[in-house]
Amino acid sequence: MPQLIAGNWKMNGLRAEALALCEALRAGAKGLTCHLLVCPPATVLAEVARALGNTPVGVGGQDCAPEPSGAYTGDISAPMLRDAGANFVILGHSERRHGHGETSTQVRAKAEAARRAGLTPIVCVGETEAERDAGGAQAVVGRQVGESLPPGFTGVLAYEPVWAIGTGKTAGEADVAAMHAYIREQAGEAVPILYGGSVKPGNAKSLLAVPNVDGALIGGASLNAADFLAIARAASPGSPR
Ligand code: PGA
């Protein structure tokens, strides 16, 4: 299975920046054997989807509401993302769980809504530094996986230790291997498991080589086309440099 390299632009990207990034990706993605995906802010999603049309780069949202429509001011539904050109949606990112108090039960309802709309959910899980220091990393992640995935889940999981996101710190390869093996037992063979948290061109190759790592979810480095493409090349054995 080719690895999946997904970019999470978070709350970054005015139209001109987003389109410039798409232009660079359109040119640079040629010949890559990994799967590539960008998740821009909802305001530019339709334009990004148009700009990346006829390229192998997929497009996703960063969150969706559990309801398909209705009186939910400020929310964006899964059918809306689909209508704008998305095929994927990130759910339960730590910035939603910790910044907006989202629970695993809500994430699960969103994953079901995403599937109903024809979107592939990318469900994020990960422990905080305090939880890891207390020896509870696997228990926390195991609980998040158990409670966030609908029965018979088809989609993608992303293990993102909260303390590694945007900090420049990455989990050690042995810790990544142990956590991914643990998640694999719960999620099964068919669910790709991405690693996320400060993945950069310099550490991508070694992280992507860890057993049960099926790709990466990239924040900061996905805003720079050269860095994002360098990570994508690390996930594309045999592709031209
Ligand atoms: P980062 O973010 O690569 O900037 O650490 C990863 C993420 O939040 O998905």
The percentage of the chain sitting over the pLDDT mark of 70, rounded to a whole number, equals 99
Alpha carbon dihedral 212, 188, 122, 199, in 10-degree steps, equals -10
Residue 170: band (very low, low, confident or very high) from pLDDT cuts 50, 70, 90: confident
Strand, helix or coil for residue 182: helix
**Predicted local distance difference test score (pLDDT) of residue 240:** 58
Catalytic residue among 93, 95, 131, 180: 93
Q: Ligand 1 centre and the CA of 6: distance in Å? A: 10
Whose structure tokens read 């990034």? 21
* Element counts in the chain: helices (H) and strands (E): 10, 8
**What is the percent of the chain with per-residue pLDDT over 90, rounded to a whole number?**
96
Count other Cβ atoms within 10 Å, centred on residue 82: 18
d(CA 225, CA 241) in angstroms, rounded, equals: 15
Tell me the pLDDT of the chain averaged across its residues: 96
Q: 58: Cβ below 6 Å to ligand 1? A: no
Q: Closest by alpha carbon to 93, among 157, 182, 155, 17?
A: 157
Q: Identify which has the larger pLDDT, 15 or 240.
A: 15
CA 154 to chain centre: 15
Mean pLDDT, rounded, for 207-211: 97
Give residue 241's pLDDT band: very low, low, confident or very high (50, 70, 90).
low
Cα of 122 to ligand 1 centre, how many Å? 14
**Backbone φ, ψ for residue 239 (5° rounding):** -80, 155
Pocket flag, ligand 1, residue 220 (CB < 6 Å):
yes
Report how far ligand 1's centroid is from the alpha carbon of 70 (Å). Answer: 31
In this prediction, residues 176-204 reach a mean pLDDT of: 97
Q: Please, which pLDDT band fits residue 112 given cuts at 50, 70 and 90?
A: very high
Q: What is the pLDDT of residues 135-149, one digit of tens each?
A: 999 999 999 999 999
217 within ligand 1 shell (Cβ under 6 A): yes
Q: Residue 1's pLDDT is what?
A: 87
Please check the confidence at residue 238 and state whether its pLDDT lies above 80: no
Kindly report, residue by residue over 1-26, the tens digit of the pLDDT: 899 999 999 999 999 999 999 999 99
pTM of the model: 0.97
